[in-house]
Amino acid sequence: MSEFLMVTGLSGAGRSTAAAALEDVGWFVIDNLPPALITKVAELAGRPGGENERVALVIGRGGGEHVEDVPEIMSSLRDAGHDVRILFLDAPDDVLVRRFEGTRRRHPLAARGVEASIADERRLLAVLREAADVIVDTGELNSNQLRSRVIELFGNGDGRTHLQTSVVSFGYKHGLPLDVDLVFDCRFLPNPFWLDELRPLSGLDEAVRRYVLEQPETLEFLTRVDELLTSLVPAYTREGKSYLSVAMGCTGGRHRSVVLAEELAERLRGHAVATTVFHRDVDR
């Protein structure tokens, strides 16, 4: 059977970027597909000998119209044995407004102005957001970062048989990530930023890594978080959850959170938990 990924979300949140990234890693992408044709596409893709085992369907480009039947269609595809997931791209209203103003593009529902149109689209797409397997907040991501995030989540091809875990590092001063399941605050650790020799480096540099890991509290913190997650993963798996996103936050997202995200991911991989790492703010 085939693997289907429904790519949807708010206009201006990055559907085109996500579609291009998926195409780059081998997905067969169909853009602007009317929901009524999803079943027909599934029938064609699922024929014996078909070459397109991973199909991404970009829907909702019309501003969210005619999507109310998509959850039921997805349920029927799952009943037929297909693996079906939804990726929902979101962003804060003010970010979406700035993006439309910057590109001078017309919103698909621009009958009442951009802000009112965004509110209308949110209402129309609420049913898909509620059904989404993965929600990615693109408000703090540029196009390259979004591309990396999509490839991290859907580029390896093994997400349909195991719970896929993502560890994200971020900086609180840049805003809390809205698309994660669990958040851990690393700001209790001494900050390498206040050491002149470490300030220009990041948590990906060995000197910063060594400094953070040598703090007395670090080992106990990592051990406790590791124990918590390894106890939760089987429960999430039993409940049918496909993705688990864990965030590590420090002040700027360059030092402590980066080190701890890398270390936690390595520990989880040691427990045979498929884990990727994404550093949202390391280059800020």
Please write down the long-range contacts of 215-221, taking CB distance under 8 Å and 24 or more positions apart. 215/189, 215/190, 217/188, 217/189, 218/189, 218/260, 221/186, 221/189, 221/260
Q: Which residues contact 275 (CB under 8 A, 6 or more apart)?
A: 164, 165, 166, 167, 265, 268, 269
- Separation between Cα atoms, residue 155 and residue 134, nearest integer Å: 14
- pLDDT at position 157: 56
- Separation between Cα atoms, residue 217 and residue 136, nearest integer Å: 31
- pLDDT at position 161: 44
- pLDDT at position 239: 78
For residues 250 and 138, is the Cβ–Cβ distance under 8 A? no
For residues 253 and 279, is the Cβ–Cβ distance under 8 A? yes
- pLDDT at position 64: 58
Report which of 179, 150, 155 is spatially closest to residue 18, judged by C-alpha positions.
150
Sheet of 54-58, strands arranged across = 28-30, 54-58, 3-9, 83-90, 134-137
Q: Which residues contact 281 (CB under 8 A, 6 or more apart)?
A: 140, 169, 170, 171, 174, 252, 253, 254
Terminal C-alpha separation, the chain: 43
- pLDDT at position 159: 42
Instruction: Compute the Cα dihedral for 216, 222, 227, 232 and give only its sign.
Output: positive
- Separation between Cα atoms, residue 46 and residue 78, nearest integer Å: 12
Instruction: Compute the Cα dihedral for 167, 172, 173, 178 and give only its sign.
Output: positive
Residues 66-80 as b or e (16 or more Cβ within 10 Å = b): ebeebeebbeebeee
- Separation between Cα atoms, residue 124 and residue 63, nearest integer Å: 8
- Separation between Cα atoms, residue 35 and residue 131, nearest integer Å: 15
In what helix (H) or strand (E) does residue 165 lie, and over which residues does it extend? strand 164-171
**Does residue 276 sit in helix, strand or coil?**
strand
pTM (predicted TM-score): 0.71
- pLDDT at position 63: 58
One digit per residue, pLDDT tens: the chain, 284 residues? 678 999 999 999 999 999 999 998 889 999 888 888 888 888 887 666 556 678 999 987 765 567 888 888 888 888 888 889 999 999 999 999 998 887 777 777 766 678 888 998 999 899 899 989 999 999 989 998 999 889 888 886 544 446 789 999 999 999 999 889 999 999 999 999 999 999 999 999 999 999 999 999 999 999 999 999 999 988 888 777 778 999 999 999 999 999 999 999 999 999 888 899 999 999 98
